[in-house]
Structure 1
């Protein structure tokens, strides 16, 4: 009964609000009516909470935590450095420069070769691996953004040779094949979503459902400590870089973990 009552009172509240929009100042009883209907809504909410042995205080506190997770990125001084207790050569570098270079094979297929600042290859040449020419071959930009914003990316560790081999359990569970597959899966999942949302052109927020799915996929990993708001920032940062690389047909990228940024330099930069 309280649930049906809540649904009914929500409808009554919507009706009062509709009249206020329609009549404006002429609807002199608007504030009084809104207060009354909101009071009825609160009564039914309290009744529902009581029926499920919940308190309004507990519900409000849980909602505040949910809101913080979704809308407030982790403050800089609270960010977790997942590799700070490891040797320097096993840490993701605080700053790094990498170059995305397109090459064309004899068969006419375009590959992207990712190289470090010293010219050594980082990973294997990538194609779109699709019949659709969607420039997914630049998707390592997403992994670099995960590293920059979240301080986490098993793929970036592999590309830069920074796996934490000094601790076999961490190397296996956090930097190993399963973790890499999960990150690649997230990249593919988000890319599918992004393709339906104009690759985030003029988009500043991502659906909660997608962020929740990512949270479930990574719950058993160290990155599970990051908030949904952190993931949103990482994803949008990665797509900003990816779109620039796509337009330029490649380029040099500066990774900065302290600034949580991935910057694509213009092709004419010395």
Structure 2
């Protein structure tokens, strides 16, 4: 699959298949999911009409909603053993579309055709009504080839009216779904080492041990290489919830995501040799963003017993994190890696809280963070 240009629907369908963990014999979840995503498209469009310039994120939101809808359509086709590209080919084999020949960017083919709706004046509202009607027609029974083609036609009309590129929608969904549901492979993590080109004094340490000790005052203290770092912390809340140990989350981000402006500040390893990195990635605003993400996740974690006995983090929470860190280097990390950083970080947090301290051991090469009790230092 190419990195730029057109995207073969057969490639999309093949790459996305591994993210489909729903019952392969049950149509109801995917039909209901598709119907819900069409509702999401309508809600996004309504918000855009209502708020106009106050909603600058319309395109990004619309790309995501159309992409999620495509995921469910591909899932339906997979269950019916109908190639996704066949459904769209038949959807555009219609008088409402005309084919425009273009030079192909696929090595095996010299010429490709772009199907363009003949009527470019149809409003987004009108096409969305048709899309909703065609989605409703899929409910209640096993979809037929004809109803799928009708839906695909309405889908293309609505996407055209929204002024979105199909390849952008498909690629965005592919990145999102694989990043959220599949464990990242080595090739997925290539290039996600954000400081390897800097000197050792400006890198987050490849291996680190942080000593955390709670004293009689109730404050927790951090030590790295025998030197105290940061300020002593309390929970700063009437409900003693252990937030005094929250620095473990920054160390988890450093070990697993290779990102933590907070840890860089604590150990004075900012990338000052490059003023742009120092200003845009390592300084005040980036630190505030990381602290904000950690505090927000913590408020959710309290409701879930700090993720004890949980193997997943909700996709909604992960997507919100993605919005938090947009514009920073860590946005390149797949959501599944964020999930690992959260779950592993909270596993260590629970042990720190239970034992009122301990050792935090991070390994960036293995992207791991573990706990060791203080008694082990003797």
TM interval, short-chain normalised: 0.7 to 0.9
Give yes or no for contact 1:98–1:116 (8 Å, CA) kept in 2. yes
Show the 5 A alignment for 1:143-158. Answer: 143-158=250-265
- 1:88 maps onto 2:194 in alignment: no
Give yes or no for contact 1:73–1:227 (8 Å, CA) kept in 2. no
C-alpha RMSD of the superposition:
2.0
> Which piece of structure 1 moves more, 239-248 or 37-46?
37-46
Equivalent residue number for residue 21 of structure 1? none
Change (3 A) 1:57 1:221: closer
- 1:141 maps onto 2:248 in alignment: yes
Change (3 A) 1:7 1:139: same
Q: TM (normalized to structure 1)?
A: 0.83
Equivalent residue number for residue 197 of structure 1? 304
Determine helix, strand or coil for the equivalent of 1:9.
coil
Show the 5 A alignment for 1:18-97. Answer: 34=142, 37-39=143-145, 41-52=147-158, 53=160, 61-77=171-187, 78-97=190-209
Determine helix, strand or coil for the equivalent of 2:361.
strand
Equivalent residue number for residue 258 of structure 1? 365
> Which piece of structure 1 moves more, 186-195 or 66-75?
66-75
- 1:216 maps onto 2:323 in alignment: yes
- What are the superposed Cα offsets for residues 124-154 of structure 1, whole Å, 9 maximum, x if unpaired? 1111111110000111110011001110000
- Find the partner of 1:112 among 210, 220, 223: 220
Show the 5 A alignment for 1:5-24. Answer: 5-10=134-139, 12-13=140-141
Change (3 A) 1:50 1:133: same
**CA drift at 1:168:** 2.0
Aligned length: 242
- What are the superposed Cα offsets for residues 10-29 of structure 1, whole Å, 9 maximum, x if unpaired? 2x13xxxxxxxxxxxxxxxx
- What are the superposed Cα offsets for residues 169-223 of structure 1, whole Å, 9 maximum, x if unpaired? 2112111011000000000010011111121112111122221111112111111
CA distance in 2: counterparts of 1:264 and 1:113, whole angstroms: 16
CA distance in 1: counterparts of 2:147 and 2:236, whole angstroms: 53
Runs of 5+ unmatched residues, structure 2: 1-129
Runs of 5+ unmatched residues, structure 1: 14-33
Give yes or no for contact 2:357–2:373 (8 Å, CA) kept in 1. no
- 1:4 maps onto 2:111 in alignment: no
Give yes or no for contact 2:134–2:151 (8 Å, CA) kept in 1. no
Determine helix, strand or coil for the equivalent of 1:259.
coil
Determine helix, strand or coil for the equivalent of 1:237.
helix
Q: After TM superposition, where is structure 1 displaced by more than 6 Å over at least 4 residues in a row?
A: 54-58
**CA drift at 1:61:** 4.9
Determine helix, strand or coil for the equivalent of 2:201.
helix
Change (3 A) 1:156 1:50: same
Determine helix, strand or coil for the equivalent of 2:276.
helix
CA distance in 2: counterparts of 1:162 and 1:132, whole angstroms: 34
CA distance in 2: counterparts of 1:62 and 1:114, whole angstroms: 41
Change (3 A) 1:98 1:68: same
**CA drift at 1:46:** 0.7
Equivalent residue number for residue 179 of structure 1? 286
CA distance in 2: counterparts of 1:222 and 1:61, whole angstroms: 20
